[in-house]
Structure 1
Amino acid sequence: MIDWLKALKDKPAIAHLLRAGQRFAGRMGDQFGAAITYFSVLAMVPIIMFAFSVTGFILVELRPELLDALEKQLSNALGGSGQGANAKIMSVIDNALRNYAAIGIIGLLSAMYSGAGWAGNLKNAVRAQWRQDFDLQVKKENVIVSTLKNLGILLGLLLAVAITFGLASVSTSLTDNILGWLGMTGVPWLALVLRLVPIAVSLGAGWLLFMYLYLVLPETRAPWPAVRRGSLLGAVGLIALQYLASFLIGRFTTDPAAGLFGPVIVLMLFFNLFARLILFVAAWISTAEPAGGRAGGPVAEATTAAQGAAAARARSAVEAKAATPVLVPRQVAVRSVRVGMGAGYVAGAATGVGLGAMIAAFFARVAARRRERNRD
């Protein structure tokens, strides 16, 4: 049994999943996923405000007859609350709908601010899984520039999400319509084939969505084949999450007690699982190459640590050498020493000759005095 498990772990696909799981868990993937979920829920409030403002604009300016019908339906729904409470609630709703401009501006500004923060947190979480050094200091940017970049990322992501879910919804409805037009709703194999069309469309749209995420969020580039395969893995996971959310919402709506809080719970669960999926796929892409992998691709942590240590030693040596004060260039110093030694030799020789001449003159004078005394 142990040998079988070891052989299973040694398979490239299983070993890759294990490396991705270790990277995801070691770099706080669950905690980052929870933080992204929190900011996702927080960003829903200004989005709802902006949507309410758009609804008010449509009901007040474009279709005022619908406003009267809506107020009547709401009044009938609140009939059991009493005339006084009913009138107050309807007055609040009517004033809010008619003040759509102020609510829209506040909601839009709040949505931009919270959305930029959400995109920034998602970017930092993906980069934490992506980079080789988890403790790498993030380069600080100007707040305004960073916010504008995050807003651009958010707008692109919203467009990609809208295309993904829109294509899935349209393809599903078209499939039902095509079966009805052909009058073949009772043909099992044709229905099965056409049911696969929305899945294929959703898979392609999800693949493009994850490709967009891993092209704009990381600060470095990974090998293109790993990004493509990882994006496909994320697209498959997104389809599974979509069907899971649809199934849970359907189950909750059948129960009146759970129908009130069920959609909110499903939405929070979807946000959390979607955030974890994005981070896990990022970890999967960043660990595409095992230890000793090919140059240019992501490598294992041990290899990266050894290279980082060697680079740190090299930097320390260079810094130490740079920190040593250099007063005179080496060539100038050598030349100066040679000139000084030559001058010393000359001065020494001249001094020696002069001292010898003085001694010789002294002894010559002494000898001359002795000769004069001998003559006397």
Structure 2
Amino acid sequence: MNRELPGPSRWARARARYRWLDHLALATNRYFDYGGYHYVASITYFSLLSLVPILMLASSVGGFVLASQPQLLDQLLHAISGTLPGSLGDKAAELLTGFVEQRTSVGVAGLVVGLYSGWNWMNSLRDALTAMYGQNRSDQPLLRTIAVDVLALLGLAAALLVSFGITVSGTAVGHYLLGLIGVADTSWGRTVLSVVSVPLALAADWLVFLWVLTRLPRERVGWRSAMRGAVAAALGFELLKQAGGFYLSLISVSPTGVAFGSVIGLLFFISLIARMLVYITAWTATARDAPRKPIPPPTPTELRPVAAPRHNPAGPLALGAVLGALGTVFALRGRRRSRS
């Protein structure tokens, strides 16, 4: 007795019937097959590492401001000594004075570490987008790769400044127009201004993500194939920002929540942003009109070269050498000051 072959599964029939579901399945498969989660972890790590030099640079700027205004520094030292009891206040004032004296060293160290972490962050991001598009990572010389990645980082900073300028200028114009008719200070006027600012923020985010999806991969991608992906990324980014604001309002009711919840929330927020961007890149790459190359599926015994994040092994050694040199300089300066 002949037995009939089993027909397509319900999932296969649903994918054949609904184009959007098939596209979503293709994007999910590409995300996992080409190691998207590894790239998300790398991007998140270097994003957190970049926060330290940013804080160092901001502190250095604050030190220069206090050094240029001695009266403000004296008032701050007096407030610290009067607030903290006993020797604790004197110790805090001494630390602040030493920090202001070493503002240049702190700024230089923050700049060096910031360039290192910023390059690795951009390198991880570009490799992630390159992998999701199915492109091959070209083996260029190290110095050329660093120069190109630093230029891409500067281009991203310029795109973010343009986006921020669009949002701020649009909000200022709206506030000015509401002020002309005398309703800028009313509750419904502020509501109208908030509603109008949302499309401006979405448009600014769309421009940034369109630039990221088309110019950051190792091989340029056409604008047309990335437009819908940029729209999805802009919408997702705004939703995550709203969720982040709601989360901050929840943890602000207790000191423990502010201390620990903010760090956990920041880590989770960065991870979600990186995951969203990498997944949307896979979704863009698997669209019907996206330029795709025939790539063989990865086998269990062979790892594709594009599937794993690649980092230069000399990077950590160079960072250790730079930090060791800076530590030696600081130690020698401290000994000279103690002898004098």
CA distance change for structure 1 residues 161 and 269 in 2, over 3 Å: closer, same or farther?
A: farther
Counterpart of 1:96 in structure 2 is 99
Alpha-carbon deviations, 1:275-298, whole Å to 9, x = none? 111111111111112xxxx7x822
TM-score by length of 1: 0.68
**What displacement does 1:238 show?**
1.0
- Give the aligned residue type for 2:71: E
Larger Rg: 1
5+ long unaligned stretches in structure 1: 307-376
Alpha-carbon deviations, 1:258-287, whole Å to 9, x = none? 112232222212211111111111111111
Structure 2 distance, partners of 1:266, 1:4, is 36
CA distance change for structure 1 residues 145 and 74 in 2, over 3 Å: closer, same or farther?
A: farther
Larger CA deviation: 66-75 vs 145-154: 66-75
Structure 2 distance, partners of 1:213, 1:24, is 18
Counterpart of 2:119 in structure 1 is 116
Structure having the higher helix fraction is 1
Q: Is contact 1:222–1:298 with CA below 8 Å preserved after alignment? A: no
CA distance change for structure 1 residues 288 and 199 in 2, over 3 Å: closer, same or farther?
A: same
Corresponding residue pairs, total: 288
CA distance change for structure 1 residues 110 and 214 in 2, over 3 Å: closer, same or farther?
A: same
CA distance change for structure 1 residues 146 and 184 in 2, over 3 Å: closer, same or farther?
A: closer
Structure 2 distance, partners of 1:165, 1:244, is 20
Cα-Cα RMSD: 2.9
Residue 296 (structure 2) aligned to one of 292, 305, 322: 305
CA distance change for structure 1 residues 46 and 146 in 2, over 3 Å: closer, same or farther?
A: same
Identical counterparts, % of pairs: 29
TM-score by length of 2: 0.75
**What displacement does 1:28 show?**
2.1
Structure 1 distance, partners of 2:15, 2:139, is 44
Counterpart of 2:318 in structure 1 is none
1:32 maps to 2:39: yes
Counterpart of 1:183 in structure 2 is 183
Q: Which has the higher contact order (CA 8 A, sep 6+)?
A: 2
CA distance change for structure 1 residues 98 and 170 in 2, over 3 Å: closer, same or farther?
A: farther
Structure 1 distance, partners of 2:231, 2:89, is 53
Q: Is contact 1:20–1:287 with CA below 8 Å preserved after alignment? A: yes
Structure 1 distance, partners of 2:29, 2:185, is 48
- 1:206-217 aligned within 5 A: 206-217=205-216
Counterpart of 1:158 in structure 2 is 157
**What displacement does 1:102 show?**
1.4
Q: Is contact 1:116–1:147 with CA below 8 Å preserved after alignment? A: yes
- Give the aligned residue type for 1:305: P
Structure 2 distance, partners of 1:211, 1:236, is 13
- 1:126-137 aligned within 5 A: 126-131=129-134, 136=136
Residue 85 (structure 1) aligned to one of 85, 88, 99: 88
Counterpart of 1:146 in structure 2 is 145
Counterpart of 1:56 in structure 2 is 63
Counterpart of 2:282 in structure 1 is 283
What is the DSSP-based 3-state SS (H/G/I as helix, E as strand, rest coil) of the residue aligned with 2:256?
Answer: coil
